[in-house]
């Protein structure tokens, strides 16, 4: 039973995958005249269907949207280690705060004089800052749910970076 439900999940995921951006489609899901699906974000960028080059319909794919509404979507940062799943309307909220989302170097964002190509997640950010930009790390603190590192640039605290443990 366990493996059967996993198979169905895999099939649903493959059906929900947008052929253009490879993200999982969420309502509204758009149809072309030949029945191909595309996500609404990609629909805005394209004049015709990327699969058959025919036009899109203004009709939405109600059946697939129904499946999508019931479906639990994996977080887009799955490849970086996030194991959480969410209903389609809760996903954006999580992804904006996901601990595994990829950040650019907080020190480089803070100061125009720092060139740094680092990217990584929250838990890696603290080590990166401590090891590479220690001169800018001015304060470290913790609240109930998060810890923070204050970055100081030319004597001005111009950014607080919240780093989860
Ligand atoms: Zn798309
Ligand atoms: Zn098509
Ligand atoms: Zn996540
Ligand atoms: Zn850096």
Distance 48 CA to ligand 2 centre (A): 8
**What residue numbers bound the domain in which 109 lies?**
103-163
pLDDT at 165 over 50: no
Distance 150 CA to ligand 4 centre (A): 14
- Tell which of 55, 70, 85 closes a domain: 70
Q: How many structural domains comprise the chain?
A: 2
- Tell which of 27, 46, 70 closes a domain: 70
The pLDDT tens digits of the residues spanning 92-107 come to: 999 988 888 888 888 8
pTM: 0.68
Q: How far apart are CA 49 and CA 34, in angstroms?
A: 9
The pLDDT tens digits of the residues spanning 108-148 come to: 887 778 889 999 987 788 888 888 988 877 776 676 666 66
CATH of the domain at 27: 3.30.40.10
The pLDDT tens digits of the residues spanning 139-161 come to: 766 766 666 677 766 555 555 66
137 near 129, Cβ under 8 Å? yes
Ligand number nearest CA of 52 is 2
Instruction: Using DSSP, state whether 129 is helix, strand or coil.
Output: helix
Q: How far apart are CA 19 and CA 24, in angstroms?
A: 9
Any idea of the CA torsion for 149, 152, 158, 162, to the nearest 10 degrees? -10
Q: Is 65 in the same domain as 109?
A: no
Residue 60 resides in a domain: yes
Distance 91 CA to ligand 4 centre (A): 29
Residue 81 resides in a domain: no
Q: What residues have their beta carbon closer than 5 A to ion ligand 2?
A: 32, 34, 36, 49, 51-52
Q: What residues have their beta carbon closer than 5 A to ion ligand 4?
A: 105, 107, 116, 118, 132
Distance 71 CA to ligand 3 centre (A): 16
Residue 149 resides in a domain: yes
């Amino acid at each position: 039973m366990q493996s059967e439900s996993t198979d169905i999940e895999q099939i649903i995921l493959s059906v929900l995958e947008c052929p253009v951006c490879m993200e999982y489609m969420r309502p509204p899901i758009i149809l072309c005249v030949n029945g191909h699906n595309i996500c609404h974000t990609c629909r805005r960028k394209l004049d015709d269907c990327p699969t058959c080059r025919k036009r899109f319909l203004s009709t939405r794919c109600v059946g697939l949207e129904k499946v999508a509404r019931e479906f639990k979507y994996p977080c887009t940062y799955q490849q970086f280690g996030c194991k959480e799943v969410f209903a389609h309307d809760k996903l954006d909220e999580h992804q904006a705060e996901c601990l595994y989302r990829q950040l650019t170097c907080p020190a480089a964002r803070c100061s125009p004089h720092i060139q740094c190509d680092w990217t990584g997640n929250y838990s890696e950010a603290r080590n990166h800052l401590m090891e590479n930009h220690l001169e800018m790390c001015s304060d470290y603190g913790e609240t109930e749910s998060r810890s923070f590192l204050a970055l100081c640039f030319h004597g001005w605290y111009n950014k607080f970076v919240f780093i989860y443990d």
